[in-house]
Amino acid sequence: MARQRLSDRVAAARAERAARLALRRRREVEAREGARVLVDGRQLLSFCSNDYLGLGQHLDVVAALQEAAAWHGLGSTGSPAVSGHHGEHAAFEREMAQWLGYPRALLLGSGYLANLAVLQSLLREGDVCVQDKLNHACLIDGARLSGAELKRYPHLDVEAALRQLMSRRDGAAILATDGVFSMDGDSAPLADLALVARAQGATLFVDDAHGIGVLGPDGRGSVAAAGLGPREVPLLLLPLGKAFGGQGAVLLGPEDLVGHVAETARPYLYSTAPAPAMAAAMRASLRLIRGQAWRRAKLASLVARFRRGAAALGLPLQESFTPIQPLLLGENRRALEVAAALEERGYLVAAIRPPTVPEGQARLRITLSVDHSEADVDGLLAALAEAVKPPTRPVTI
C-alpha cells in the first residue's frame, strides 16, 4: 500500500470543511481604539473582544509595560528554571497570591500552556480526570496527554460528575471545570462541585479565564462569587488575556502542588519565560481591577441592558449573565449570514461554528466591554433586529 501524502490529506480535509462552511479565516486588525477596530481597511465596532474591563489599552497598563521594557529589555532570555525567572515575575506572583489568599502563585506563558502543564505534571496513568463536557479544549487536551482516564459529564450535571468519580476509586482524581464557560457564558455550579470533590477525595481545579476580574467581590472571580476559597478549590488557574487585558496565566494553589508543577511540568520548564514587561503590565492591571469597582458595575449594567433589549426583540439568547452573550442560530450558514449582515452595518461579531461548539449549535458570540457605551449596545440591538431577518439577496460568506 502506498504511503499517504500529507498534502493530499490536508486538501481532502479542507474540502470537507469547506463543504460544511467550517473554514476559518484570520481577520487583520490594523488598529484598535477601545471597542473600535480597523479591519481590512474598514472601521468596525467590535463585539467579540475578551477585553471585558477595557484594560488592554489603559494608559497605566501600557506605561507600566513601556517602563519595564525600557529597564529590563524585551524578552526574559531563558526558561524559568535557567535564567528567565525575573523580579517582575516574582512580584506579580506574590501580589496575585496575596489578593486571592493562596499560598503560592506561578506565572506561565498562556492559559493553554498552563492547563497542559498542570494536568500533565499532576496526573499519570491510573488516575482519573473528570470534566464538564463543555470545558475549554486545553483542559481536555491536558487530561488526554497526562495518560489519566478522562471522563466527561453532561454540562453542569453535578450528579453525573459524582457518578463518574465514584466509578473509579483507585489512583488520584482531579475534578476540573471552567468557572465561566467561554462559548455559553454560563457559570459552573462550583459550590456543589466542591462538595462532590471533597466527598470523593478529588482535587477541584477551576479555570476562571472568563470570571476573574468580572465576577465576585473585588473582581476575585467565580470562586469568590460562589463563597469559596483555597480550601474548597485547591487549584485555580487565571488566564490573563481577558479581563486583565494582557497575556499569560497564573496558577494558584498550595505550596506542594504548585511547586511540583514548577519543578516537573514540561510546558513550563521548556518554554521561555514570559516577558518581564508583561508581568509589570499585569501588576498594573491588578491594581486597576482591585481599585476601580465602577468597571464591573458598568459592565453589569451593559449586560443587563443588552439582555433586556434582546428579550424585547425575541432574539434567541442563551441564559448568561456574564459579558459573554451567545445568540444561538443553529446551522453554520445561518451564523455566517447574520455575522456578514452585521458587518455590513458596521459591527464585528464572530460566528462560532463546530468544532468549537457542538454540531447544530453555531452562534454569534457577542461580548460586552467597558469600552462600549449604552448607545453602542442599542445600536447593536437595532442591527441585530435587521440582521436576523432572512436575507433578501445572497450574502457573501
0.85 exceeded by the pTM? yes
pLDDT tens, 64-115? 999 999 999 999 999 999 999 999 999 999 999 999 999 999 999 999 999 9
Binding residues for pyridoxal 5'-phosphate: 111-112, 182, 210
Per-domain residue ranges for the chain?
Answer: 21-50+293-387, 59-291
Binding residues: 24, 111-112, 136, 182, 210, 356
pLDDT tens, 189-205? 999 999 999 999 999 99
Q: Do 69 and 76 meet the contact criterion of CB atoms below 8 Å apart?
A: no
Written as one string, the DSSP assignment of 231-289 is TT-SEEEEESSSTT-SS-EEEEE-HHHHHHHHHH-HHHHTSPPPPHHHHHHHHHHHHHH
pLDDT tens, 219-255? 999 999 999 999 999 999 999 999 999 999 999 999 9
What does pLDDT average to over the chain? Answer: 95
Binding residues for substrate: 24, 136, 356
Buried b (16+ CB within 10 A) or exposed e, 64-84: bbeebbeebeeebeeebeeeb
pLDDT of residue 22: 87
- CATH code for the domain defined by 59-291: 3.40.640.10
**CATH 3.90.1150.10 holds for 21-50+293-387:** yes
pLDDT tens, 289-328? 999 999 999 999 999 999 999 999 999 898 999 999 999 9
